[in-house]
Amino acid sequence: MGIKIDALKCIGCMACEMACGYHRDDGFALLSACIVAYRTREKKDYFGVLLKRDEDLLIARPEGTEIKRIGAEEDNTSNKQADASAKPMLLREACDLCEEMDLGPLCVKFCPVDAITSDVG
């Protein structure tokens, strides 16, 4: 139950991040969003999405979706450079699925390519 992300559909428009920031702060404050769209410089058209949930981070990349438990021990063989991009997300509030909104999660409503879906509301 919750939000699902298909990184293969993501175009990196950041509409999800803008909608979430607006929900959190009644303004377009990207630093308060619990969802972040990102791309890499190394690969053209490579987009991913991070979503902070109550106890974990949902990391959606073109090669697949990963869930990292917040506070879990890291494997010493993992790529530390990739992990560094998730660290600022730990300071943000967890997704509340826009629970007080009649429309449901705003990130889902504003994604122009349906890369974000929900089974809520």
CA 28 to chain centre: 16
CA distances from 83 to 10, 77, 89, 106 (A): 20, 12, 11, 27
Over the stretch 60-117, which tens digit does the pLDDT of each residue have? 999 999 999 988 765 544 444 444 455 677 888 999 999 888 888 999 999 999 999 9
> Would the pTM count as exceeding 0.75?
yes
Q: For the chain, count helices (H), then strands (E).
A: 3, 6
Strands in 64-69's sheet, in edge-to-edge order, are: 35-39, 47-52, 56-61, 64-69
Over the stretch 23-40, which tens digit does the pLDDT of each residue have? 988 888 788 899 999 888
